[in-house]
């Protein structure tokens, strides 16, 4: 596997239950490749839930998450290492209920949480306020998909200064549909954003990844594949003036602290 040959060791697999989460398959892939694969608990945006899930109250959602961490997912015995939730709209009552339940579970488990925020609406403050109200450890929170708002350096600086991580995870992705740009930012934009956040004192709050969620992201289908950051972005970062220590902080130390401390 190119990712492992390039030096990769760990993949966070953030497909939730409603997105086809398959812990047994992840386990088999982990054994076959020698990679660490971290599976998630939690729920994505409400449009992916079935009716039973929509009718669950906060306590039941929380208990489901805690049970998976303590006893494993279903009958597999495989335990998640992170919670993934989706917040597509801060006015969506179902998603706010899910956010509150997740916050409660996180406080009990002290586990990392990856939050999918509204992509183009800058609603991090609303989410952070909700987290603070429940005493959440913001050092265990990552706001993924920060790429669409990467030009607003102050917005990302605000997130980082609260203690949460800013995650640029569309690296290698530059998508357009017949309706126009879906993700107009390219890797040059992301590198500029990373450099600016370092200048603003946020080196230790930056995460980067690739959000490989489409077939066209894989090398088989013409994409960069899982090794893109290690093979192409790291040399670019060095060329742009980042030291080996700074790159290791982003690729190794920050993920370790977010996931394990």
Please give the model's pTM, rounded to 2 decimal places.
Answer: 0.94
pLDDT digits (tens, 9 = 90+) for 46-81: 999 999 999 999 999 999 999 999 999 999 999 999
Nearest alpha-carbon partner for 213 in 141, 120, 144, 129: 144
User: How many percent of the chain have pLDDT more than 90?
Assistant: 81
Q: How confident is the model at residue 180 (pLDDT cuts 50, 70, 90)?
A: low
Query: Which CATH number do you get for residue 196?
Result: 3.20.20.140
**Parent domain of 208:** 2-260
Contact 140, 110 (CB under 8 A): yes
Helix (H, G, I), strand (E, B) or coil at 207: strand
Decide if pLDDT at 177 tops 70: no
- Asked which of 49-63, 87-101, 193-207, 242-256 is least confident by mean pLDDT, the reply is 87-101
Question: What band does 261 get if pLDDT is binned at 50, 70 and 90?
Answer: confident
Q: Coil, helix or strand for 177?
A: strand
Number of domains the chain is built from: 1
What average pLDDT does the chain have?
Answer: 93
**Interior angle at CA 188, CA 183 and CA 194, nearest 5:** 95
């Amino acid at each position: 596997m190119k990712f492992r040959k390039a030096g990769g060791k760990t993949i966070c697999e953030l497909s939730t239950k409603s997105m086809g989460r398959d812990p047994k398959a992840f386990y088999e892939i982990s054994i076959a490749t020698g990679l660490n694969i971290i599976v998630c608990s939690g729920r994505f945006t409400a449009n992916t839930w079935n009716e039973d899930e929509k009718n669950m109250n906060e306590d039941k959602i929380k208990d489901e998450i805690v049970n998976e961490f303590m006893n494993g997912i279903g009958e597999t015995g495989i335990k998640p290492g992170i919670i993934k939730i989706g917040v597509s709209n801060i006015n969506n009552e179902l998603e706010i209920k899910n956010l509150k339940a997740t916050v409660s579970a996180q406080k009990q488990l002290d586990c990392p949480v990856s939050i999918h925020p509204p992509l183009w609406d800058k609603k991090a403050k609303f989410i952070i306020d909700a987290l603070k109200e429940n005493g959440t450890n913001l050092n265990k929170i990552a706001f993924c998909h920060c790429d669409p708002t990467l030009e607003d350096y102050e917005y990302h600086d605000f997130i980082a200064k609260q203690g949460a991580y800013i995650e640029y995870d569309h690296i290698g992705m530059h998508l357009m549909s017949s309706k126009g740009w879906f993700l107009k930012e390219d890797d040059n934009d992301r590198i500029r954003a990373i450099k600016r956040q370092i200048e603003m004192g946020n080196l230790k709050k930056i995460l980067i990844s690739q959000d490989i969620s489409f077939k066209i992201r894989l090398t088989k289908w013409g994409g960069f594949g899982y090794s893109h950051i290690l093979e192409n972005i790291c040399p670019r970062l060095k060329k742009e003036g980042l030291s080996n220590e700074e790159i290791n902080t982003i690729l190794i130390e920050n993920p370790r602290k977010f996931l394990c401390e």
